[in-house]
Amino acid sequence: MCFSACKKENISELSSSEIDVYPIPTLNILYDEDIPIDNKIEMSMEIMGTNNDTIYFGNIERRGGFSIGFEKHSYEIDLETDVPLTNLPEDDDWILNANYIDKTFLRHVVSYDLFRSMNPTNEASHTTYVNVELNNEYNGLYVLMEKLDKSSLEIDDDDPEAFIFKEPHIFKQDYATSIAQGQDNFNQQIFPKITVSDKNDLIAELNNYIATSEDIDFSNNIGSIFDIDNIIDWHLLLLISNNNDGIVKNFYLYKKDASTPMRVSPWDYDHSFGRDGDNELNLDTRPLDINKSILFKRLLNLPWYKTILKDRWLFLNQTQLLSVDALKNRCLNLSTAIANHANRNFENWSLDSEWYYDDNNFLEEVDVVLEFIEIRHARLASYFENL
Protein backbone atom coordinates (compact mmCIF):
# COMPACT_ATOMS: atom_id res chain seq x y z
CA MET A 1 0.00 0.00 0.00
CA CYS A 2 1.40 3.38 -0.98
CA PHE A 3 -0.25 6.59 0.14
CA SER A 4 -0.12 9.95 -1.59
CA ALA A 5 2.68 11.03 0.75
CA CYS A 6 5.10 8.83 -1.21
CA LYS A 7 5.27 11.57 -3.84
CA LYS A 8 6.19 14.27 -1.34
CA GLU A 9 9.56 15.08 0.17
CA ASN A 10 8.05 16.10 3.51
CA ILE A 11 4.78 15.14 5.14
CA SER A 12 4.17 18.75 6.15
CA GLU A 13 3.70 19.56 2.45
CA LEU A 14 0.49 17.53 2.44
CA SER A 15 -2.93 19.08 2.43
CA SER A 16 -5.59 17.69 4.74
CA SER A 17 -7.28 16.00 1.79
CA GLU A 18 -4.11 14.03 1.05
CA ILE A 19 -3.95 12.48 4.52
CA ASP A 20 -5.74 9.15 4.46
CA VAL A 21 -8.33 8.27 7.06
CA TYR A 22 -7.02 4.93 8.28
CA PRO A 23 -9.25 2.67 10.38
CA ILE A 24 -7.65 1.90 13.72
CA PRO A 25 -9.49 -0.23 16.29
CA THR A 26 -10.28 1.03 19.77
CA LEU A 27 -9.50 -0.89 22.95
CA ASN A 28 -11.79 0.09 25.81
CA ILE A 29 -10.32 -1.12 29.11
CA LEU A 30 -12.65 -1.33 32.11
CA TYR A 31 -11.39 -1.61 35.70
CA ASP A 32 -12.55 -0.75 39.23
CA GLU A 33 -9.46 0.83 40.83
CA ASP A 34 -6.41 2.86 39.84
CA ILE A 35 -4.04 0.79 37.72
CA PRO A 36 -0.92 0.19 39.87
CA ILE A 37 2.75 -0.21 38.94
CA ASP A 38 4.09 -3.79 38.97
CA ASN A 39 0.91 -5.23 40.45
CA LYS A 40 -1.76 -6.47 38.08
CA ILE A 41 -5.46 -5.89 38.75
CA GLU A 42 -8.46 -7.42 37.04
CA MET A 43 -9.87 -5.78 33.94
CA SER A 44 -12.03 -6.43 30.91
CA MET A 45 -11.19 -5.17 27.44
CA GLU A 46 -13.55 -4.53 24.58
CA ILE A 47 -12.13 -4.29 21.06
CA MET A 48 -14.24 -2.00 18.88
CA GLY A 49 -13.92 -1.10 15.24
CA THR A 50 -13.26 -4.61 13.94
CA ASN A 51 -15.64 -6.93 12.13
CA ASN A 52 -16.53 -8.64 15.37
CA ASP A 53 -16.38 -6.48 18.49
CA THR A 54 -15.08 -8.74 21.25
CA ILE A 55 -14.65 -8.62 25.02
CA TYR A 56 -11.67 -10.27 26.71
CA PHE A 57 -10.81 -10.66 30.39
CA GLY A 58 -7.48 -10.54 32.16
CA ASN A 59 -5.20 -8.36 34.26
CA ILE A 60 -3.45 -5.05 33.73
CA GLU A 61 -0.63 -3.02 35.31
CA ARG A 62 1.38 0.11 34.54
CA ARG A 63 4.83 -0.52 33.13
CA GLY A 64 8.01 1.26 32.15
CA GLY A 65 11.45 2.23 33.37
CA PHE A 66 12.30 5.89 32.95
CA SER A 67 8.99 6.32 31.10
CA ILE A 68 7.03 5.42 34.23
CA GLY A 69 7.08 9.13 35.10
CA PHE A 70 5.46 10.32 31.88
CA GLU A 71 1.96 11.74 32.10
CA LYS A 72 0.62 9.28 29.54
CA HIS A 73 1.07 5.76 30.91
CA SER A 74 2.03 2.49 29.25
CA TYR A 75 0.44 -0.77 30.31
CA GLU A 76 1.05 -4.51 30.32
CA ILE A 77 -1.93 -6.78 29.77
CA ASP A 78 -2.19 -10.46 30.63
CA LEU A 79 -5.27 -12.04 29.05
CA GLU A 80 -6.89 -15.26 30.23
CA THR A 81 -6.35 -16.96 26.85
CA ASP A 82 -4.15 -16.62 23.77
CA VAL A 83 -5.86 -14.40 21.20
CA PRO A 84 -4.74 -12.77 17.92
CA LEU A 85 -5.46 -9.16 18.91
CA THR A 86 -6.16 -7.02 15.82
CA ASN A 87 -4.69 -9.79 13.63
CA LEU A 88 -1.33 -9.87 15.41
CA PRO A 89 0.07 -13.33 16.21
CA GLU A 90 -1.90 -15.15 18.89
CA ASP A 91 -0.70 -14.54 22.46
CA ASP A 92 -1.95 -13.74 25.95
CA ASP A 93 0.71 -11.18 26.98
CA TRP A 94 0.57 -7.71 25.43
CA ILE A 95 2.05 -4.26 25.89
CA LEU A 96 0.23 -1.01 25.28
CA ASN A 97 3.07 1.42 24.61
CA ALA A 98 2.05 5.02 25.18
CA ASN A 99 4.86 6.11 22.86
CA TYR A 100 4.80 9.39 24.76
CA ILE A 101 8.32 10.62 24.03
CA ASP A 102 8.06 9.85 20.28
CA LYS A 103 5.58 12.25 18.71
CA THR A 104 5.75 10.37 15.39
CA PHE A 105 4.63 7.00 16.81
CA LEU A 106 7.03 5.55 14.21
CA ARG A 107 10.32 4.69 15.84
CA HIS A 108 9.38 1.38 17.51
CA VAL A 109 7.20 0.21 14.65
CA VAL A 110 9.65 1.05 11.86
CA SER A 111 12.66 -0.39 13.68
CA TYR A 112 11.04 -3.70 14.58
CA ASP A 113 9.50 -4.12 11.13
CA LEU A 114 12.84 -3.37 9.48
CA PHE A 115 14.64 -5.94 11.59
CA ARG A 116 12.12 -8.69 10.81
CA SER A 117 12.18 -7.76 7.11
CA MET A 118 15.94 -8.21 6.94
CA ASN A 119 15.74 -11.94 7.62
CA PRO A 120 12.86 -14.34 8.43
CA THR A 121 14.90 -15.69 11.37
CA ASN A 122 15.10 -12.22 12.98
CA GLU A 123 12.59 -11.88 15.79
CA ALA A 124 11.12 -8.56 16.92
CA SER A 125 7.86 -7.56 18.50
CA HIS A 126 4.94 -7.39 16.08
CA THR A 127 3.06 -4.12 16.44
CA THR A 128 -0.03 -2.29 15.38
CA TYR A 129 -1.79 0.96 16.26
CA VAL A 130 -4.82 1.18 18.53
CA ASN A 131 -6.80 3.95 20.16
CA VAL A 132 -7.26 3.35 23.88
CA GLU A 133 -10.16 4.24 26.11
CA LEU A 134 -9.90 3.84 29.87
CA ASN A 135 -13.30 3.29 31.48
CA ASN A 136 -14.98 4.67 28.35
CA GLU A 137 -12.84 7.84 28.20
CA TYR A 138 -10.45 8.39 25.29
CA ASN A 139 -6.81 8.25 26.42
CA GLY A 140 -4.84 8.44 23.20
CA LEU A 141 -3.13 6.61 20.36
CA TYR A 142 -1.01 3.63 21.42
CA VAL A 143 1.30 1.06 19.87
CA LEU A 144 0.05 -2.43 20.69
CA MET A 145 3.08 -4.72 20.95
CA GLU A 146 3.81 -8.37 21.51
CA LYS A 147 5.61 -9.00 24.75
CA LEU A 148 8.89 -10.78 24.03
CA ASP A 149 8.78 -14.05 25.96
CA LYS A 150 9.14 -17.78 25.40
CA SER A 151 5.98 -17.83 23.31
CA SER A 152 6.73 -14.96 20.91
CA LEU A 153 10.42 -15.96 20.65
CA GLU A 154 9.45 -19.61 20.09
CA ILE A 155 11.61 -20.94 22.90
CA ASP A 156 11.70 -24.68 23.54
CA ASP A 157 10.84 -24.65 27.23
CA ASP A 158 11.83 -28.32 27.58
CA ASP A 159 15.40 -27.67 26.43
CA PRO A 160 17.77 -26.98 29.36
CA GLU A 161 20.01 -24.84 27.13
CA ALA A 162 17.23 -22.44 26.11
CA PHE A 163 17.06 -19.02 27.75
CA ILE A 164 15.96 -15.39 27.48
CA PHE A 165 17.65 -12.34 29.03
CA LYS A 166 16.43 -8.76 28.81
CA GLU A 167 19.30 -6.25 28.67
CA PRO A 168 22.02 -8.51 30.06
CA HIS A 169 25.38 -6.87 30.78
CA ILE A 170 27.13 -9.18 28.34
CA PHE A 171 28.51 -6.58 25.91
CA LYS A 172 29.65 -3.95 28.39
CA GLN A 173 33.30 -2.95 28.68
CA ASP A 174 33.27 -2.82 32.48
CA TYR A 175 31.17 -5.69 33.74
CA ALA A 176 32.33 -5.31 37.34
CA THR A 177 30.75 -1.88 37.85
CA SER A 178 27.48 -2.63 36.03
CA ILE A 179 24.35 -1.90 38.03
CA ALA A 180 21.95 -4.77 38.63
CA GLN A 181 18.78 -4.53 36.55
CA GLY A 182 16.71 -6.33 39.15
CA GLN A 183 17.08 -7.52 42.71
CA ASP A 184 18.57 -11.04 42.80
CA ASN A 185 18.53 -11.13 38.98
CA PHE A 186 21.60 -9.23 37.79
CA ASN A 187 21.05 -9.77 34.04
CA GLN A 188 17.25 -9.82 34.02
CA GLN A 189 16.85 -13.49 33.23
CA ILE A 190 13.34 -13.91 31.82
CA PHE A 191 13.37 -17.62 31.02
CA PRO A 192 13.71 -20.03 32.69
CA LYS A 193 12.73 -18.62 36.04
CA ILE A 194 15.91 -17.84 37.88
CA THR A 195 14.68 -19.83 40.87
CA VAL A 196 14.47 -22.89 38.64
CA SER A 197 17.78 -22.51 36.79
CA ASP A 198 20.08 -19.53 37.36
CA LYS A 199 22.00 -18.83 34.14
CA ASN A 200 23.64 -15.56 35.16
CA ASP A 201 27.05 -17.26 35.29
CA LEU A 202 26.67 -17.99 31.59
CA ILE A 203 26.48 -14.27 30.82
CA ALA A 204 29.56 -13.56 32.94
CA GLU A 205 31.50 -16.32 31.17
CA LEU A 206 30.48 -15.06 27.73
CA ASN A 207 31.39 -11.49 28.65
CA ASN A 208 34.82 -12.70 29.74
CA TYR A 209 35.25 -14.73 26.56
CA ILE A 210 34.36 -11.79 24.31
CA ALA A 211 36.70 -9.49 26.23
CA THR A 212 39.73 -11.72 26.76
CA SER A 213 39.83 -14.65 24.32
CA GLU A 214 42.75 -14.91 21.90
CA ASP A 215 42.12 -13.29 18.53
CA ILE A 216 42.34 -16.54 16.56
CA ASP A 217 40.05 -18.33 19.01
CA PHE A 218 37.52 -15.48 18.89
CA SER A 219 37.58 -15.35 15.08
CA ASN A 220 37.14 -19.11 14.70
CA ASN A 221 34.45 -19.66 17.32
CA ILE A 222 32.30 -16.54 17.67
CA GLY A 223 30.14 -17.69 14.74
CA SER A 224 29.19 -20.86 16.59
CA ILE A 225 28.17 -18.91 19.69
CA PHE A 226 26.13 -16.15 18.03
CA ASP A 227 24.06 -16.18 14.86
CA ILE A 228 26.33 -13.84 12.88
CA ASP A 229 23.65 -13.04 10.30
CA ASN A 230 21.40 -11.90 13.14
CA ILE A 231 24.20 -9.87 14.76
CA ILE A 232 25.03 -8.17 11.45
CA ASP A 233 21.40 -7.17 10.89
CA TRP A 234 21.26 -5.83 14.45
CA HIS A 235 24.51 -3.94 13.79
CA LEU A 236 23.00 -2.34 10.68
CA LEU A 237 19.76 -1.47 12.48
CA LEU A 238 21.75 0.30 15.18
CA LEU A 239 23.76 2.18 12.57
CA ILE A 240 20.86 3.33 10.41
CA SER A 241 18.71 4.32 13.41
CA ASN A 242 21.61 5.86 15.40
CA ASN A 243 20.20 4.27 18.54
CA ASN A 244 23.09 4.88 20.91
CA ASP A 245 21.15 3.42 23.85
CA GLY A 246 20.66 0.17 21.95
CA ILE A 247 24.31 -0.89 21.77
CA VAL A 248 24.79 -2.35 25.25
CA LYS A 249 21.16 -2.37 26.44
CA ASN A 250 17.63 -2.24 24.96
CA PHE A 251 17.77 -5.73 23.49
CA TYR A 252 16.80 -9.29 24.35
CA LEU A 253 19.36 -12.08 24.16
CA TYR A 254 17.89 -15.53 23.65
CA LYS A 255 18.64 -19.10 22.64
CA LYS A 256 15.76 -21.17 21.31
CA ASP A 257 17.29 -24.60 21.98
CA ALA A 258 20.57 -26.49 22.09
CA SER A 259 20.85 -26.68 18.30
CA THR A 260 20.57 -22.93 17.59
CA PRO A 261 23.06 -20.14 18.33
CA MET A 262 22.28 -17.10 20.45
CA ARG A 263 20.32 -14.30 18.81
CA VAL A 264 19.33 -10.74 19.64
CA SER A 265 15.94 -9.06 19.38
CA PRO A 266 15.84 -5.22 19.49
CA TRP A 267 13.79 -3.39 22.08
CA ASP A 268 13.02 0.26 22.89
CA TYR A 269 13.74 2.48 19.89
CA ASP A 270 12.25 5.74 21.17
CA HIS A 271 15.72 7.26 21.07
CA SER A 272 16.58 6.90 17.40
CA PHE A 273 15.97 8.41 13.97
CA GLY A 274 16.84 11.98 14.94
CA ARG A 275 16.32 12.06 18.70
CA ASP A 276 18.47 11.08 21.68
CA GLY A 277 17.26 9.23 24.74
CA ASP A 278 16.29 12.42 26.53
CA ASN A 279 14.41 13.57 23.40
CA GLU A 280 17.10 16.10 22.39
CA LEU A 281 17.35 16.66 18.64
CA ASN A 282 20.21 14.67 17.08
CA LEU A 283 20.33 14.88 13.29
CA ASP A 284 23.50 12.77 13.32
CA THR A 285 25.57 15.48 15.00
CA ARG A 286 26.27 12.87 17.70
CA PRO A 287 26.71 9.56 15.88
CA LEU A 288 26.61 6.43 17.97
CA ASP A 289 29.80 4.83 19.24
CA ILE A 290 29.42 1.21 18.20
CA ASN A 291 32.69 0.37 19.96
CA LYS A 292 30.95 0.77 23.32
CA SER A 293 30.04 -2.88 22.75
CA ILE A 294 32.98 -5.22 23.27
CA LEU A 295 31.34 -7.61 20.79
CA PHE A 296 31.13 -5.09 17.95
CA LYS A 297 34.57 -3.69 18.78
CA ARG A 298 36.16 -7.11 18.39
CA LEU A 299 34.08 -8.09 15.37
CA LEU A 300 35.15 -4.94 13.52
CA ASN A 301 38.76 -6.06 13.92
CA LEU A 302 37.98 -9.19 11.89
CA PRO A 303 38.39 -8.75 8.10
CA TRP A 304 35.78 -11.44 7.34
CA TYR A 305 33.20 -9.70 9.51
CA LYS A 306 33.79 -6.30 7.90
CA THR A 307 33.41 -7.88 4.46
CA ILE A 308 30.10 -9.53 5.36
CA LEU A 309 28.84 -6.35 7.04
CA LYS A 310 29.66 -4.19 4.02
CA ASP A 311 28.19 -6.70 1.56
CA ARG A 312 25.03 -6.89 3.65
CA TRP A 313 24.69 -3.09 3.66
CA LEU A 314 25.06 -2.98 -0.12
CA PHE A 315 22.59 -5.83 -0.61
CA LEU A 316 19.92 -4.32 1.62
CA ASN A 317 20.27 -1.05 -0.28
CA GLN A 318 20.08 -2.74 -3.66
CA THR A 319 16.96 -4.65 -2.61
CA GLN A 320 15.37 -1.35 -1.50
CA LEU A 321 15.11 -2.15 2.19
CA LEU A 322 17.69 0.28 3.57
CA SER A 323 17.87 2.76 0.69
CA VAL A 324 16.94 6.38 1.37
CA ASP A 325 13.76 6.15 -0.69
CA ALA A 326 12.69 2.88 0.92
CA LEU A 327 13.22 4.18 4.45
CA LYS A 328 11.48 7.48 3.79
CA ASN A 329 8.54 5.84 2.04
CA ARG A 330 8.13 3.39 4.90
CA CYS A 331 7.88 6.30 7.34
CA LEU A 332 5.69 8.39 5.05
CA ASN A 333 3.23 5.54 4.49
CA LEU A 334 2.81 4.91 8.19
CA SER A 335 2.67 8.55 9.20
CA THR A 336 0.10 9.37 6.54
CA ALA A 337 -2.04 6.49 7.75
CA ILE A 338 -2.03 7.52 11.41
CA ALA A 339 -1.89 11.33 11.08
CA ASN A 340 -5.50 11.97 12.07
CA HIS A 341 -5.26 9.61 15.03
CA ALA A 342 -1.98 11.18 16.18
CA ASN A 343 -3.43 14.67 16.01
CA ARG A 344 -6.38 13.54 18.09
CA ASN A 345 -3.91 12.09 20.61
CA PHE A 346 -2.24 15.49 20.99
CA GLU A 347 -5.56 17.08 21.82
CA ASN A 348 -5.23 15.04 25.03
CA TRP A 349 -1.47 15.33 25.56
CA SER A 350 0.47 18.56 25.29
CA LEU A 351 3.01 19.03 22.49
CA ASP A 352 5.21 21.21 24.70
CA SER A 353 5.39 19.32 28.00
CA GLU A 354 8.51 19.36 30.19
CA TRP A 355 9.75 16.18 28.48
CA TYR A 356 10.15 17.83 25.05
CA TYR A 357 12.86 20.16 23.78
CA ASP A 358 10.46 21.86 21.38
CA ASP A 359 6.78 22.10 20.55
CA ASN A 360 6.93 20.30 17.18
CA ASN A 361 3.59 18.93 16.09
CA PHE A 362 3.14 15.50 14.53
CA LEU A 363 3.87 16.56 10.94
CA GLU A 364 6.93 18.59 11.91
CA GLU A 365 8.32 15.70 13.92
CA VAL A 366 7.86 13.26 11.05
CA ASP A 367 9.88 15.68 8.91
CA VAL A 368 12.66 15.43 11.53
CA VAL A 369 12.76 11.67 10.90
CA LEU A 370 12.82 12.15 7.13
CA GLU A 371 15.63 14.71 7.31
CA PHE A 372 17.59 12.45 9.64
CA ILE A 373 17.31 9.51 7.21
CA GLU A 374 18.92 11.52 4.41
CA ILE A 375 21.75 12.82 6.61
CA ARG A 376 22.44 9.51 8.33
CA HIS A 377 22.32 7.47 5.13
CA ALA A 378 24.88 9.75 3.47
CA ARG A 379 27.22 9.31 6.45
CA LEU A 380 26.85 5.53 6.33
CA ALA A 381 27.39 5.41 2.57
CA SER A 382 30.73 7.13 3.11
CA TYR A 383 31.53 4.88 6.08
CA PHE A 384 30.95 1.68 4.14
CA GLU A 385 32.79 2.94 1.09
CA ASN A 386 35.89 3.22 3.26
CA LEU A 387 35.34 0.16 5.47
- pTM of this prediction? 0.93
Q: What is the pLDDT of residue 87?
A: 83
Q: What is the pLDDT of residue 65?
A: 78
Alpha carbons 372 and 324: distance in angstroms, whole number: 10
Q: Tell me the CA distances in angstroms from 130 to 21, 27, 346, one per residue in order.
A: 14, 7, 15
Q: What is the pLDDT of residue 17?
A: 44
Determine the angle formed by the axes of helices 215-225 and 200-212, rounding to 10 degrees.
140
- Report CA 193 to chain centroid distance, whole Å: 24
HEC states along 145-192? EECCCCCCCCCCCCCCCCEEEECCCCCCCCCCCCCCCECCECCCEEEC
Q: What is the CA radius of gyration of the chain?
A: 21
- Reported as a pLDDT band with limits 50, 70 and 90, residue 67 is confident
Flag the least confident range among 2-6, 100-104, 120-124, 339-343: 2-6
Is residue 167 within 8 A of residue 251, CB to CB? The reply is yes
Q: What is the pLDDT of residue 68?
A: 84
Is residue 29 within 8 A of residue 76, CB to CB? The reply is no
Average pLDDT, the chain: 92
- Helix (H, G, I), strand (E, B), or coil: what is residue 386? coil
Buried/exposed 7-29: b ≥16 CB within 10 Å, e otherwise: ebeebeebeeeebbeeebbebbb
What's the pLDDT tens digit per position in 248-296? 999 999 999 999 999 999 999 988 999 998 899 999 999 999 999 999 9
Alpha carbons 210 and 196: distance in angstroms, whole number: 27
**Which sequence spans correspond to the domains of the chain?**
163-275+289-300
Alpha carbons 305 and 283: distance in angstroms, whole number: 28
Q: What percent of the chain has pLDDT above 90?
A: 84
Say if residue 104's pLDDT is above 60: yes
Buried/exposed 175-190: b ≥16 CB within 10 Å, e otherwise: beebeebeeebbbbbb
Q: What is the pLDDT of residue 2?
A: 33
What's the pLDDT tens digit per position in 31-61? 999 999 989 999 999 998 766 678 999 999 9
